[in-house]
Structure 1
Amino acid sequence: MGSMGRQTRLPPVLDFSAFRGEDGPAKAEFLQRLGQACRDKGFFQLINHGVEPELQQKIFAAAKELFDLPMEEKLKARLTPATKGRGYETIGDQMLEPGSAPDTKEGIYLGDDLPADDPRVLKGEYGCGSNIYPACLGPQWHATCIEYLQTLKTLARDVMRALAAALAIGDDYFDQFTETDPVATLRLIHYPPTPTTSDKERGCGAHRDFGCITLLLQDQVGGLQVQDEETGEFLDIDPVPGAYVVNLGNLMARWTNHHYTSNTHRVLNYSPTDRYSIPFFYSGNANHVLDTIPGLEQRPQSVVARKYGPAIPREPYGPVSVTDFLRDQFVRSYARAQEYRPKAVEV
């Protein structure tokens, strides 16, 4: 297929100022393109989103400062089952693509910094706890991460309103999900160059995101790819300076009964340069119960045929809490990496 055909299959770059502005035709065109992108691949890039370039530069600097530390310092903040989803993970800790090798990336999980006596922490709510990071980085490093996290929460709420508007279910449909103690995770990630000696090595294995929406800030190295499900081909998502790559996760696909899709993507950093990315995972209220949105009970026929075959009817999903849905997916991805490791090197 020629370059023009390939270009039309790439996730679009959308101008968010059209949704926030007062120009009716521009907003209508934005919502039409947004809805199509969410039905097609569940991916789009967002510009004019309102996040200041200076803050983006600060969070990239924070990521590099963390990953430049000696390993013994980073391991002082190690992610473990007891750290409530917070802390540092080494290369190989996670395996997102079954049948591949564990991911060749290192990262850290951060979120709202809640004290041990916070009611949500005491109840053991998903994603709630205190941040864990190398103490040598100092409080200003942590303050930068929290400033960025709070800024992205605001952007995520606006994106959710746009997603509702594109579904024609009312801009405020998701407000209860987004405005009451929403769970959000900030992840700083470093990808060394991906080895090319094995077809199983991945910076980040092919997977679909677990949560509701992801807002990804990527550097200019490249390597992010999204799959075209009709052809199986992986398409490069070329970096647009300052833009956010927005993709929908499995939670949103389930909630909308696949009227919106969650698509397979991966990272292959074949460049000789280290790659840094800052994904922000937005999961909303952990206690919210997901049930099929009224009016979306009929699953799109194209999805039914592609996933199950045209002769198999599919009923809408039953209710499930955000916590139960996410915990199951998160645990399975780390269990795969543990099973892959030879018994002799287990610690």
Structure 2
Amino acid sequence: MPVAGVGKAPPILDFSAFYNGDAAAKKKLVDDAIMNRNKKFLDLSLEQKMEINKDTSNTWNRGYELLKSQILEEGTLPELKEGFYIGDEIPKTHPYFVNKKLNLGPNMVVSLANDILKVLAQTLELPSSYFDDFTTGAVATMRPLHYPSQPPDSPQKLTRGIGAHTDFGTMTILLQDTVAGLNYRYISNTHWVINQSGEERYLIPVLLSGNPDYVVECLPNCRAEGEEAKYAPITVEQAVLGDYADSYGRAEKIKKDAAAKGGREGGLVALGHVKDKLKKRNIHR
């Protein structure tokens, strides 16, 4: 299926415009064609998008994510969002691919995230280089998303574009359109999407996870001397893959339960069965 931009490097954005006072340059940065490409792809027919479905066309979490594939907030319905996983192209000889590491490899925007982390380290009274080991060989994923508008009378406690959650990785750099929907609580960074605007909502998050083998543990100055850490150490890969398994597993369970009862999901449930069969044959992850 010919898709504009596939096989080519993503456009390079001059982020320096963000730091100067040129309003026209800032608008050009925000209005970049990448959002239009996002809409163009996600507006294709389901049949076309399924040709590059991430669950059936490869084993490394790249490609189209079907509507209602995930439940981040337990107790809600499968989420009203579809998307596309993008990462840096690496050869199958790369150690990340050979060892089936988390999302395989670094992304072009990691350098910006590194600079942000240097600043954050200093706000925590740590050396600016504190996170260098964490970001060396870091994994990042770009994930263009589409939230179709949900009916105004849909139950907000059950129907979400995306359920309440905190992001799996360390940092999210977000490009979004002008359609409202994102809700968040600043202190805990819990956020969710309910799109009752009557318009389609598009956005492109870049999710920085970090080096898959890096052991995440409580910062040295975030607990009193002699006090035990609240959370046990865990690698980046263990933490992120655990969240993936939980959120996608919830959606799959609901689809299977619906199918067992005669199902109200129609073609979507049938498609879920096809995905399961193909997974067993093709996916080694």
Scaled by the length of structure 2, what TM-score is found? 0.76
Deviations 1:165-199 (A, max 9, x none): 11011111111211x21100000001111233331
| Paired residue type of 1:164 | A
1:324 paired residue among 232, 238, 242:
238
Identity fraction in percent: 37
1:218 paired residue among 148, 155, 176:
176
SS at match of 2:173: strand
Partner of 2:266: none
Q: Alpha carbons of 1:96 and 1:195: their partners in 2 closer, same or farther (altered >3 Å)?
A: farther
Partner of 2:211: 285
Partner of 2:54: 79
**Is 1:193 aligned with 2:168?**
no
Q: CA deviation at 1:68?
A: 1.9
Aligned partners of 1:272, 1:49: CA distance in 2, in Å? 35
Q: CA deviation at 1:335?
A: 0.4
Structure 2: unaligned runs, 5 residues or longer: 1-14, 264-268, 274-285
Aligned partners of 1:52, 1:327: CA distance in 2, in Å? 36
CA contact (8 A) 1:91 1:106 kept: yes
How does 1:307-346 map onto structure 2 within 5 Å?
315-341=229-255, 342-343=258-259, 344=263, 345=269, 346=272
Q: CA deviation at 1:119?
A: 1.8
Deviations 1:253-293 (A, max 9, x none): xxxxxxxx642111111111111111110011111111222
Q: Alpha carbons of 1:104 and 1:155: their partners in 2 closer, same or farther (altered >3 Å)?
A: same
CA RMSD of aligned residues (A): 2.7
1:121 paired residue among 97, 101, 108:
97
Aligned partners of 2:134, 2:20: CA distance in 1, in Å? 21
| Paired residue type of 1:122 | V
How does 1:1-347 map onto structure 2 within 5 Å?
48=19, 54=28, 56=30, 57-80=32-55, 83-128=59-104, 150=108, 152-178=109-135, 180-199=136-155, 200-227=158-185, 262-298=188-224, 315-341=229-255, 342-343=258-259, 344=263, 345=269, 346-347=272-273
Structure (1/2) with the larger helix percentage: 1
User: After alignment, is 116-125 or 261-270 more displaced?
Assistant: 261-270
Structure 1: unaligned runs, 5 residues or longer: 1-16, 21-46, 130-145, 229-260, 300-312
Aligned partners of 1:298, 1:210: CA distance in 2, in Å? 27
Aligned partners of 2:69, 2:251: CA distance in 1, in Å? 6
CA contact (8 A) 2:218 2:229 kept: no
Q: CA deviation at 1:113?
A: 1.0
SS at match of 2:213: coil
Aligned partners of 1:262, 1:59: CA distance in 2, in Å? 30
User: After alignment, is 53-62 or 114-123 more displaced?
Assistant: 53-62
Scaled by the length of structure 1, what TM-score is found? 0.63
Deviations 1:75-110 (A, max 9, x none): 011121752221111110111111111110110111
Q: Alpha carbons of 1:53 and 1:83: their partners in 2 closer, same or farther (altered >3 Å)?
A: farther
Aligned partners of 2:80, 2:101: CA distance in 1, in Å? 30
Give aligned pairs, total: 238
